[in-house]
């Protein structure tokens, strides 16, 4: 027994009994509330609706046993679902056995990749995605999600090779819309939007306590779904008025999916799987960290990846769609009072019961209402505030965000994130290539040196003190050389150039050669080159070089040391 | 007349009369000495030999009028020639009219690109190429050049889709080599290698003055060519023994080439033209700068690009091969005493006379000897010392050099330089993602703060002083967060965290959000966050943010200020 316990996760070995009640309640509540969402995201991914239910069982158990966050809820998520659809729909027809097998392969590959990142401690690779890029990616995806749902929302037949052709086809078909479907879809949309944005303040205005008002808001989507289903049943909207519904779901767990991805599938899916893995990782870790901070816990990023990856591997064989840590799902879960992953196990068990005995309830659920709930979720993913904040703080980051979103919309999800990474790197390089360089002087009576342009400082007539605020590397040498050249030209009396290296964290080979050339050039012009405030690692490297042994000037621990040494002797 | 003078380059308006004699002499000498080289590089590019002579006329004039270097010599160069061959040989058969037109298109496009870089002041784009990458590229190209010349050197018929197939074919054909050709080629190779590496020291050992010894060394290639041609003539080696020779050259200037590149050609040639432009730019500016330093002049990089680009545009219509600033060509030119671009104009005129009246002299020049001279030039381009220096100073740069060279050899010139740029950027990102972070304390009796691990310093029991030696950006936040987390965990008594920001030149949006999260997290743990030594531009940006207005701790001009403020009051 003790042996077995060693393999249990930490939270299970020392389970705090007093959390039992809230955990069980949270698990049951969450399952009921996220049911419509799970069906909807499976449809969004182009899969049969029950796939969304099935991947809410065993993959959730896998995450509960292996993940590191106490309160993150995994399951079908919107961005992963639209990525699945966007990757697979050119390869196979949604709904076919081939499509289902491809989706399972995608879940398996991205799962294995994420596990590998975790085991090899390569989680840092996801740092290639800056937050503005991720934000732009999600906002762009959200617009694509909205476009994909419009036809279901109003009940028209429309198809398109990509989102824009689909949108055009949907608009062209509008005259043929099915009135009953459109009324149901648009009414659902309006009610859900009002619930999300206006209900809580209204209830609070009526004197309802904030927590209770929030609970009502969370229950409303389920109420809308129930009411819509009852309406279909009452007036036979599906058979009499052509309102599309979920349709018969075979009760019970599907047999364990056996599938062998072909080599060509693996090749086609490798890049999408990597992107799903990366984006999933970034979102997951960011959310898990935010939750951990609120709860004053710490998460282990690599352990988190192992949990997320394992749950996708399990999802490949049971349900067959990629899963992730869902924002709204987790929010429901936390609000319902979940304290430990036990709540997840309860939720998984509850979902198992639903799949075994309760699927009949969804047979006549109208797709238009599910589409409305997806649209509302997608609209909330469009983060205009992030763009506004970035624009105010840092234009380059704002442009990376906009570029990524535009890229996702115009050339697709995969190329869009490639554009985003490219923009991030370009920004990095561009900034580093325009280093801040200041001519400095000493603040009288202190040992501090500040920009001569900003402060009233002491300078020496024959010595120029220049601080370079950037590592020296191939990309910014030209700027540094030009600035130093201009400063020296403006001060012909100078015979000592002191470079203050306090912000130079590195000098690469190109920069070393350029410095060596500059030193030789200065020598010809009778100007000595001094170095001050060199960082330890920089100095260690320089010590073996010809520049160091030939240096015409001195090396000073501090700018002040150089200032004192170069000051004319007092008479 | 005064009006006209305004359009003349500066050197011409105030021409120093006393340079006239040396300039004229240098021009004539250079023309004679670089004649064989010009023929050889045209052949290397897959073009008729006279192309190398023709592009040494009007393109040289264009550079003399528009360039900014006083002593750089433009003309056919080895790297540009092998790039031309490598780009065009898959598209057309060398020697055909189609090939010739493509080469002219390539010269035109790269010329226009370089002019555009100069006019738009985009010269900094070439900073994407670090010196190790350029060095690796040139070394790799040199190996490809050697491989391309082997078949001519020994006189076998061999063809191959790429360098390695060509090498294999050459080796396979070795049993069929033409003895007279091989003897001539290998003898030429040995003599030229001895001249380059052993002649000057030997002559100096015999008492010859260094300058004179150097002059002899420079004349030797011409002597070898003349002797070889005389041997062909004397023993009818071409007709009787199958020694390949340059063959009949139609005397006189070719008619102005009219050609209209097709849209598909433009598409195919765009990337190669860009690479030729980039590499040409980097080489040219590096060399022009080195020359200017020696002569205590300054060059204008963008003007230099306009000169280089214009000379390529002219070359497209007259001669039809891309040109560049040649290392050996320039060396000859400087050694011969050139002082101003007048020497170039003289050289161009002399070359014009050769083309008009002297082409018969080359008719029976053996190709094997030209191949030998190309091989010798290529061998001198392989810069093993640069690799050794880089390896000693900075492994990452050495790997970028090796990776670029390997890439050029294995996957070709274009992909190779792509690999090099990728490696440079990866290095940049990788380094920045592993920031140097130090816990610091005060050196007793001073205001200086140093690493607690390296120095005996004062610390405060309840305050942790941490210096981050890197700009904070999306790629290194995880490392910073992890390090700070670990330091705080190791010091549970700490209630004040002071971040010393002297080396933080920028905080991007991702980093700002992470800092804001961290600040909130620290607040929950009753730890105040202080900032010290913020740079002006960083502080300017931070001042508008929620982090700034909510900051739990203080902002200090200096680490010492924070130290004083956080020290317990003296009892």
For A489-508, the pLDDT digits (tens) are 888 889 999 999 988 988 98
Residue B126 confidence (pLDDT): 66
Could you say which of B296, B470, B474 has the minimum Cβ distance to residue A524?
B296
pLDDT at A458 over 60: yes
Residue A253 confidence (pLDDT): 80
pLDDT in tens, B350-390: 999 998 988 888 889 899 998 998 898 888 888 898 899 88
Q: Among A198-202, B293-297, B346-350, whose mean pLDDT is lowest?
A: B293-297
Distance (Å, whole) CA B373 – CA B504? 53
- B281 interface with A at CB cutoff 8 Å: no
Interface test with A, best of B469, B524, B525 (most A CBs within 10 A): B469
CA neighbor of A93 nearest in space, from A46, A49, A50, A142 = A46
- Run of H or E including B385: helix B384-393
Q: Count CB neighbours of A561 within 10 A.
A: 17
Residue B339 confidence (pLDDT): 81
- A475 interface with B at CB cutoff 8 Å: yes
The average confidence (pLDDT) of chain B is 85
The residues near A434 (Cβ < 8 Å, ≥ 6 apart) are: A476, A479
- What global pTM score does this model have? 0.72
DSSP 8-state code for residue B256: P
pLDDT at A1 over 60: no
Take residue B482 and report the two structure tokens written for it. 């992890």
d(CA B273, nearest CA chain A) in Å:
22
- A535 interface with B at CB cutoff 8 Å: yes
Take residue A524 and report the two structure tokens written for it. 């010809």
Q: Tell me the pLDDT band of A95, cut-offs 50, 70 and 90.
A: confident
B447 contacts on A by Cβ (under 8 Å) = 447
Residue A298 confidence (pLDDT): 64
Residue A160 confidence (pLDDT): 79
- A303 interface with B at CB cutoff 8 Å: no
Residue B1 confidence (pLDDT): 46
A528: left (phi over 0), alpha (psi -120 to 50) or beta: beta
Q: Count CB neighbours of B248 within 10 A.
A: 11
The sheet carrying B449-451 orders its strands as B449-451, B437-442, B463-468, B496-500, B528-532, B555-556
pLDDT in tens, A49-84: 889 999 999 999 999 888 877 777 888 988 889 889
Distance (Å, whole) CA A312 – CA A108? 6
d(CA B397, nearest CA chain A) in Å:
6
pLDDT at A436 over 60: yes
pLDDT at A235 over 50: yes
B3 φ, ψ to 5°? -55, -50
- B455 interface with A at CB cutoff 8 Å: no
- B128 interface with A at CB cutoff 8 Å: yes
Comparing alpha-carbon positions, the chain B residue that sits nearest to A290 is: B517
CB pairs under 8 A between A and B: 153
Take residue B414 and report the two structure tokens written for it. 């274009």
The average confidence (pLDDT) of chain A is 85
Interface of B with A in 248-277 (CB under 8 A): none
Task: State mean pLDDT over A89-102.
Answer: 87
Could you say which of A447, A506, A509 has the minimum Cβ distance to residue B447?
A447
pLDDT at A18 over 90: no
Comparing alpha-carbon positions, the chain A residue that sits nearest to B390 is: A509
Task: State mean pLDDT over B449-477.
Answer: 89
Interface test with A, best of B476, B509, B516, B541 (most A CBs within 10 A): B509
pLDDT at B65 over 80: yes
pLDDT at B495 over 50: yes
d(CA A44, nearest CA chain B) in Å:
30
Contact B447 A451 (CB under 8 A): no
Comparing alpha-carbon positions, the chain A residue that sits nearest to B297 is: A521
pLDDT in tens, A304-337: 888 999 999 999 998 889 998 877 777 777 777 7
**Contact call for residues A122 and A277 (beta carbons, < 8 A):** no
Residue A258 confidence (pLDDT): 65
Contact A124 B478 (CB under 8 A): yes
Q: Which of A123-132, A144-153, A254-263, B470-479 has the highest mean pLDDT?
A: A144-153
Take residue B531 and report the two structure tokens written for it. 């900032």
Q: Among A12-26, A286-300, B48-62, B311-325, whose mean pLDDT is lowest?
A: A286-300
Distance (Å, whole) CA A67 – CA A72? 9
pLDDT in tens, A183-223: 999 999 999 999 888 888 898 888 888 888 888 888 888 88
- B420 interface with A at CB cutoff 8 Å: no
Take residue A169 and report the two structure tokens written for it. 């086809």
pLDDT at B208 over 50: yes
Q: Among A16-30, A33-47, B146-160, B518-532, whose mean pLDDT is lowest?
A: A16-30
Distance (Å, whole) CA A541 – CA B392? 9
Residue A239 confidence (pLDDT): 85
pLDDT at B396 over 50: yes
Could you say which of B124, B130, B475 has the minimum Cβ distance to residue A508?
B130
Residue A31 confidence (pLDDT): 85
- B450 interface with A at CB cutoff 8 Å: no
Residue B406 confidence (pLDDT): 93
Task: State mean pLDDT over B328-334.
Answer: 76
Q: How far is CA B349 from the centre of its chain?
A: 30
A502 contacts on B by Cβ (under 8 Å) = 502-503
Interface test with B, best of A289, A390, A429, A474 (most B CBs within 10 A): A474
Could you say which of A428, A433, A535 has the minimum Cβ distance to residue B127?
A433
The residue assigned the tokens 């995201």 is A41
Q: Tell me the pLDDT band of B3, cut-offs 50, 70 and 90.
A: low
């Amino acid at each position: 027994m003790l042996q077995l316990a060693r393999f249990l996760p930490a939270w299970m070995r020392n389970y705090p009994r007093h959390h039992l009640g809230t955990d069980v309640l949270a698990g049951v509540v969450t399952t009921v509330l996220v049911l419509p969402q799970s069906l909807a995201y499976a449809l969004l991914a182009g899969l049969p609706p029950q796939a969304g239910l099935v991947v809410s069982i065993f993959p959730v158990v896998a995450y509960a046993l292996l993940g590191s966050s106490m309160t993150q809820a995994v399951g079908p998520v919107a961005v992963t679902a639209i990525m699945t659809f966007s990757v697979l729909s050119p390869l196979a027809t949604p709904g076919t056995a081939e499509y289902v097998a491809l989706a399972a392969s995608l879940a398996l590959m991205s799962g294995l990749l994420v596990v590998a990142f975790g085991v090899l401690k390569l989680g840092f690779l996801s740092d290639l995605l800056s937050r503005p890029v991720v934000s732009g990616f999600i906002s762009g995806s959200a617009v694509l999600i909205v476009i994909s749902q419009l036809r279901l929302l109003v009940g028209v037949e429309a198809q398109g090779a990509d989102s824009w052709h689909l949108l055009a086809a949907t608009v062209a078909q509008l005259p043929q819309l099915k009135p009953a479907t459109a009324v149901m879809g648009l009414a659902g949309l309006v009610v859900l939007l009002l619930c999300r944005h206006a209900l809580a303040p209204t209830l609070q205005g009526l004197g309802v306590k904030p927590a209770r008002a929030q609970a009502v808001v969370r229950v409303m989507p389920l109420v809308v779904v129930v009411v819509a289903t009852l309406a279909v049943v009452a007036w036979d909207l599906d058979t009499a008025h052509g309102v599309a519904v979920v349709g018969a779901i075979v009760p019970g767990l599907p047999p364990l999916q056996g599938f062998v991805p072909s080599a060509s599938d693996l090749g086609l899916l490798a890049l999408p799987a990597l992107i799903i893995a990366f984006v999933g990782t970034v979102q997951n870790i960011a959310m898990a960290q935010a939750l951990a901070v609120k709860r004053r816990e710490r998460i282990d990023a690599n352990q988190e990846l192992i949990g997320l990856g394992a749950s996708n591997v399990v999802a490949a064989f049971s349900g067959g769609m990629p899963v992730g840590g869902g924002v709204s799902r987790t929010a429901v879960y936390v609000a319902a009072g979940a304290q430990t992953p036990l709540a997840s196990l309860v939720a998984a068990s509850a979902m198992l019961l639903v799949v075994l005995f309760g699927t009949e309830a969804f047979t006549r659920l109208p797709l238009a209402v599910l589409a409305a709930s997806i649209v509302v979720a997608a609209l909330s993913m469009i983060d205009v505030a992030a763009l506004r904040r970035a624009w105010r703080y840092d234009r380059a980051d704002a442009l990376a965000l906009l570029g990524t979103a535009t890229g996702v919309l115009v050339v697709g999800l995969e190329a869009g994130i490639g554009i985003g990474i490219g923009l991030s790197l370009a920004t990095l390089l561009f900034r580093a290539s325009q280093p801040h360089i200041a001519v400095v002087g000493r603040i009288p009576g202190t040992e501090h040196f500040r920009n001569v342009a900003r402060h009233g400082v002491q300078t020496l007539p024959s010595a120029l003190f220049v601080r370079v605020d950037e590592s020296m590397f191939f990309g910014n040498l030209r700027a540094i050389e030009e600035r130093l050249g201009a400063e020296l030209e403006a001060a012909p009396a100078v015979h000592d150039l002191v470079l203050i290296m306090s912000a130079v964290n590195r000098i690469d080979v190109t920069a070393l050669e350029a410095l060596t050339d500059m030193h030789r050039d200065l020598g010809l012009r009778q100007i000595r080159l001094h170095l001050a405030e060199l960082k330890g690692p920089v100095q260690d490297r320089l010590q073996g070089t010809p520049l160091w042994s030939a240096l015409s000037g001195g090396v000073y621990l501090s700018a002040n040391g150089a200032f004192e040494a170069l000051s004319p002797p007092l008479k």
